[in-house]
């Protein structure tokens, strides 16, 4: 039985993960929802809440083609609570908000989803026109005029600091992608993204994007929907066994900017997470860290206290420590570099999958009980602490 005033992940689902899929965004969302509610042992009429990040992106539908409103309407959900928006700490904060909702009795079972369609949208510009703007404004006016168009250029500068101040080498950085593709190769859902594990030789033969990042340090546009079901602690008698408790969450930002702060928001967020739980870093069995760019997991390792500041690249050196059979398995499903840019929700999906022992060929050994899932980089940062207790 669950604890009242607690929130649990009771089911997870995922559509096909592909590049330039032809199935519609709502079709993919349906596939993920149906798999998740079946996993949870629920039916659609038991769902009374819906959450997503960042809500429907009307300006460029490939980024987020399905909104919370669409899901309520499409699936006939009588929503007592719903939420969809981007001005929250990061992608996984939508799940943290759903957890708060079930803890306070506002809903019993919430569908949390993130549907991405960036690869398909780019291949069908007549249906998904690219954003055409005469001018830049908001944050992008401080970067785009200098041809720092992509977040790759912004994050590369944080990574370059690690290189210059702490001596990170490209061989060390490469371990993020090598580990990701090795794990993705064991993940049946990642077949379209990783055809074979990356080698160090191939890594070094790739073209540079923005130093120190080469092509393999960047995730790639993907089409997919990922769903997490969040249920109230006093509703666990309605679901399948094997729930995972959302033990804590954090999302702390000191300055909302990609270039003004000295440190990315993962640092204050990591510190804040441990203030909200009795668990300690040493209790964690696996970590699923956002890897839109390969430097992010290094930052999260430091931020969450798995190593000292400036030591993250040494922690992953050689890759054995972060491997599936290592002391702290990282991105066991392949992360975004290996399994596609699911935009944050994949990390919660994989953390829950591992804690429930459903990782199949990529299942970590032993009896894992505690995991951390994170999302975001720059001023975006969210962390979830998941526990099977």
Is 156 one of the binding residues for another protein (CB under 8 A)? yes
Among 59, 132, 135, 241, binds another protein (CB under 8 A): 135
Which is nearer to another protein, 3 or 208 (by Cβ)?
Answer: 208
Q: Pick from 61, 122, 151, 209 the residue near another protein by CB under 8 A.
A: 209
Task: Give 63 or 83: the residue with its C-beta nearer to another protein.
Answer: 63
Nearer to another protein, 17 or 156 (CB): 156
Q: Which of 59, 87, 132, 207 touches another protein (CB under 8 A)? A: 207
Q: Binding pattern to another protein, positions 253-282, x when CB under 8 A?
A: ----x-xx----------------------
What is d(CA 144, CA 114) in angstroms, rounded to the nearest whole number? 27
Cα(120)–Cα(128) distance, integer angstroms: 9
The answer to whether 358 contacts another protein (rule: CB under 8 A) is no
Q: Is the peptide bond before 81 cis (omega within 30 degrees of 0)?
A: no
Burial class (CB in 10 A: 0-12, 13-18, 19+), 246: buried
User: For residue 13, which phi and psi values (nearest 5 degrees)?
Assistant: -150, 155
Contacts of residue 126, defined as CB under 8 A and 6 or more positions apart, other chains included, come to none
Instruction: Read off φ and ψ for residue 161, nearest 5 degrees.
Output: -65, -40
Tell me if 167 contacts another protein by CB under 8 A: no
Q: Which of 5, 149, 167, 205 is the binder for another protein (CB under 8 A)?
A: 149
Of 55 and 378, nearer to another protein (C-beta) is 378
Residue 376: Cβ-neighbour burial (10 angstroms; 0-12, 13-18, 19+): buried
Residues numbered 46 to 65 that lie near another protein (CB under 8 A) are none
Give the list of residues 6+ apart from residue 46 with CB closer than 8 angstroms, or none: 37, 108, 109, 238
- Site for another protein (CB under 8 A): which residue of 148, 190, 235, 250? 148
* Minimum separation from the CB atom of position 129 to another protein (A): 17
Contact between 142 and another protein per CB under 8 A: yes
Is residue 130 a contact residue for another protein (CB under 8 A)? no
Task: Write down the least CB distance from residue 282 to another protein, Å.
Answer: 32
Candidate segments 13-21, 95-103, 136-144, 293-301, binder of another protein by CB under 8 A:
136-144
Task: Pick the binder of another protein from 3, 4, 136, 309 (CB under 8 A).
Answer: 136
Q: Which two tokens stand for residue 217?
A: 């340090």
The half-sphere exposure of 340 on its side-chain side, counting CA atoms within 13 A, is 30
**Which residues make Cβ contacts (< 8 Å) with residue 135, sequence separation at least 6?**
141
169 makes contact with another protein (CB under 8 A): no
Q: In what order do the strands lie in the sheet with 7-14?
A: 81-84, 49-52, 109-117, 223-232, 7-14, 244-250, 382-387, 370-375, 286-288
Could you give the maximum distance between any two Cα atoms of the chain, in Å? Answer: 57
Closer to another protein by CB, 221 or 279: give it: 221
Residue ranges binding another protein (CB under 8 A)? 134-137, 139-150, 152-154, 156-158, 160-161, 164-165, 207-213, 257, 259-260
């Amino acid at each position: 039985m669950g604890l009242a005033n607690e929130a649990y992940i009771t089911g997870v689902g995922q559509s096909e993960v592909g590049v330039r899929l032809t199935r519609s965004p709502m079709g993919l969302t349906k596939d993920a929802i149906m798999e998740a509610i079946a996993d949870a042992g629920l039916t659609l009429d038991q769902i009374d809440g819906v959450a997503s990040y960042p809500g429907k992106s009307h300006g460029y539908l490939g980024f987020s083609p399905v909104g919370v409103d669409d899901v309520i309407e499409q699936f006939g959900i009588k929503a007592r609570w719903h939420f969809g928006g981007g001005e929250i700490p990061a992608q996984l904060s939508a799940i943290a908000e759903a957890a708060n909702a079930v803890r306070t009795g506002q809903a019993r079972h919430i569908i949390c989803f993130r549907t991405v369609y960036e690869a398909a949208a780019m291949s069908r510009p007549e249906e998904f026109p690219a954003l055409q703007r005469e001018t830049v404004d908001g944050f992008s006016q401080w970067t785009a005029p200098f041809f720092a168009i992509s977040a790759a250029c912004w994050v590369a500068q944080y990574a370059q600091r690690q290189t210059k101040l702490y001596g990170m080498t490209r061989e060390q950085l490469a371990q993020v992608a090598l580990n990701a593709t090795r794990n993705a190769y064991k993940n049946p859902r990642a077949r379209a993204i990783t055809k074979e594990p990356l080698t160090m030789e191939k890594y070094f033969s790739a073209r540079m994007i923005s130093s120190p990042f080469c092509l393999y340090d960047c995730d790639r546009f993907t089409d997919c929907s990922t769903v997490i079901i969040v249920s109230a602690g006093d509703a666990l008698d309605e679901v399948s066994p094997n729930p995972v408790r959302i033990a804590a969450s954090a999302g702390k930002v000191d300055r909302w900017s990609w270039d003004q702060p000295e440190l990315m928001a993962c640092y204050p967020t990591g510190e804040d997470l441990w203030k909200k739980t009795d668990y300690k870093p040493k209790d964690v069995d696996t970590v699923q860290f956002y890897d839109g760019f390969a430097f992010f997991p290094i930052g999260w390792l430091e931020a969450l206290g798995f190593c000292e500041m400036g030591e993250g690249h040494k922690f992953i050196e050689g890759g054995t420590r972060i491997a599936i059979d290592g002391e702290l398995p990282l991105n066991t499903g392949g992360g975004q570099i290996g399994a596609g840019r699911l935009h944050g929700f994949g990390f919660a999906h994989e953390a829950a999958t591992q804690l429930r022992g459903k990782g199949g060929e990529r299942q970590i050994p032993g009896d894992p009980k505690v995991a951390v899932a994170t999302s975001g980089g720059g001023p975006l940062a969210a962390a979830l602490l998941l526990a099977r207790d």
